[in-house]
Amino acid sequence: MKKTDIVLIVIILALSVSLYFILNRGPAEESHVNIFVNGEPVRSEGLAETIDPILIESPYGSNIIKIDSGSVQVAWSDCSSQVCVRTGKISRPVEVIVCLPHRLLIAITGNRDAKGQEGVDAVTW
């Protein structure tokens, strides 16, 4: 390996670590969890709240959704793939949970990031 190869690897690693910390800053302020079934809005809750589990029943199947202090997750689903359950917790406006067999979409929307800035995010910047 040449000296320039090592320098390039170090720069790429430093950028990767920096980008990881920029994108994982925590829950957004004023964020809401929006739940859709078959493209239709079913429910909207504040992300900062901790509420009882939500049971979503539709002709396509059933899901239990947990919202807990800044994050949301599908705790249970009767679909065969369980991809929505294995997605785990999401907490940022750029993340979504999808259950294709049940046509369920959980999205986080918000106007501000964790630092209170509006509009420009780390990806746009």
Q: Pick the residue with more confidence: 125 or 82?
A: 82
Give the position of tokens 């079934």. Answer: 37
In whole angstroms, give the CA distance from residue 74 to residue 106. 9
67 domain residue, yes or no: yes
- Smallest CA-to-CA distance from 47 within 104, 92, 99 is with 92
60 domain residue, yes or no: yes
81 domain residue, yes or no: yes
117 domain residue, yes or no: no
Q: How many domains does the chain have?
A: 1
87 domain residue, yes or no: yes
- What residue numbers bound the domain in which 98 lies? 32-109
15 domain residue, yes or no: no
pLDDT (tens digit, 9 = 90+) per residue, 17-49? 988 887 776 554 578 899 999 999 999 999 888
User: Parallel, antiparallel, or unpaired: how do β-strands 61-68 and 71-77 relate?
Assistant: antiparallel
27 domain residue, yes or no: no
**pTM as predicted:** 0.67
